[in-house]
Amino acid sequence: MKIFILFLFANFSLIASELAPLDNTQLDGIPHSAEYNHKPTPLFSSKQVYLGASPVGIGTDIAWKLRGGKGENVKIIDIEPGLNEKHEDLPKLFYSNNPISTEHGNAVMGILGARDNGFGITGIAHKAKFGLAGFIEEKNEVMYLNGVVKQIQKARELLSPGDVFVILTYIEGPNGFFIMSEYWPDIFKELKAATDKGIHCVQAAANGGTNLDNWQYRGLFDRKVRDSGCIIVGSARVVDKARIIYSNYGSIVDAFAYGESVVTTGYGDLFNGGPNSLYTQSFEGTSSATPIVAGAVALVSSIALQQKKLITPKEMREAIRITGIEQGGYKTENIGKFPNIGAMLKYFNLKLK
C-alpha cells in the first residue's frame, strides 16, 4: 500500500522570471525582492473568493467583526511535510518540526494564517497561533506511517480542547484510488484520540474520484462501524459548488470548499517576488478545500471560547452538516456542505455583537 501527501492537484507552475538574490529592503513599508524593487507585493485579498459573505464566501465578514472572530483563542497545527518559514506573508510558528520547505505547505498555511499586513493575502484565522508538524516522506511505508503517527501524537500533546489540526496525507486504497489516511488503523487510532480530547480534526477526503462507500473499503468509512470524530472534506467548483471530478465523495464526507482557482501563498503563478514572495491563484483539490473548512471551524471555535463555550468536535461537525450550504451537481455524490459561519454561530446560540 502506498502513502502520499496531497500534492497531486496542487499547481506546480511558476511564472518565468529572471531571479536576482533576495533583498529584504522596504518600499513604503511593504517587503519586496530586489528584482521587483520598483514593484512591491500587491494586495490580493479581493481575489480570495472563499473569504467574505455567504454563500460565495464562508462568512468572515461576520466573524471578523466579533471578539475572537479572527482566531485569537485557538491554536492550529498543519500536519504535512513542511513549508518555507521565511515567506514574507506567513505567521511565525509556535511549533515547528519542519524538515523540508514545500510550496504545498506554504499554500495551506496561507489560507489559514497569512498575516493581515496590507499586502499579499489574508488568512482566514490570521490571529490564531500556528504550528507545523512536518515529517519526512520516507519511501519505506512503515517509516512513513510512523512519521505521520508521531506528528499526530505531537499535535495532540500541544493542542487543547477547541483547537484545530489539519491533516493532508492520503494513501492508495485497495482498488488503486487515493483515499484519506484514516483508512490506516494506526492513523485512525491517533485521530480518534485527538478528537476524544476535544481537538477539532479536519481531514482531506483525498483526490481519488472514488465513492468512499464502496464495498472494497470494508466499511472502514462507515461511521456505524467506526468514527474518528474528524470532519472530512471534499472539494467543489467555484461556479456552481458541484463536486470536482477528482474529489472523493460518500456518506462520510461532511463539508466541502473550493477545489480550484484558490488564491494563496506559494508557487508563484500569481506573483513572483523571489523565493520568499510567491503567490498562486491556482491551488486546487482537497488540498485547498480542507484548510478553508478548517479556517471556518477555527473561527467558530474561537468565538465560542471567547464567550466561554466549548464546542466538541462532533458538535462542530454536525453544525456544518445542518447549517451549511448545499452542494451543486449530483447530490448522490455527497461532498457535504459549504460552511456558513453566520449560520453556525446562530446554531450554537453565540452572540453576534
Given a cut of 70, whether residue 61 has pLDDT beyond it is yes
Query: What is the model's pLDDT at position 140?
Result: 65
* E strands, 141-199, in order: 164-167, 169-172, 178-180
- State mean pLDDT over 194-201: 98
Among candidate residues 122, 208, 136, 124, the one with its CA nearest the CA of residue 166: 124
Q: Distance (Å, rounded) from C-alpha 25 to C-alpha 33?
A: 7
> How far from chain centre, in Å, is Cα 270?
20
Domains in the chain: ranges and CATH: 3-11+28-347 (3.40.50.200)
Share of the chain above pLDDT 70, in %: 88
Q: Distance (Å, rounded) from C-alpha 145 to C-alpha 204?
A: 17
Given a cut of 90, whether residue 3 has pLDDT beyond it is no
Q: Distance (Å, rounded) from C-alpha 292 to C-alpha 110?
A: 10
Mean predicted lDDT score pLDDT of the chain? 89
* 3-state SS assignment for residue 94: strand
Q: Which residues pair with 211 in a beta bridge?
A: 249
What residues contact residue 133 under an 8 Å CB cut-off, 6+ apart?
77, 78, 79, 80, 95, 97, 151, 152, 154, 155, 165
Strands 278-283 and 271-272: antiparallel
What residues contact residue 239 under an 8 Å CB cut-off, 6+ apart?
none
What residues contact residue 134 under an 8 Å CB cut-off, 6+ apart?
80, 81, 82, 83, 96, 97, 98, 99, 100, 105, 151
Predicted confidence (pLDDT) per residue in 266-281, tens digit: 999 999 999 999 999 9
Given a cut of 70, whether residue 2 has pLDDT beyond it is no
* HEC secondary structure over 16-53: CCCCCCCCCCEECCEECCHHHCCCCCCECHHHCCCCCC
Find the helix packing angle between 141-158 and 185-196, rounded to 10°.
0
Kindly indicate the confidence band of residue 137, based on its pLDDT and cuts at 50, 70 and 90. low
Query: What is the model's pLDDT at position 15?
Result: 27
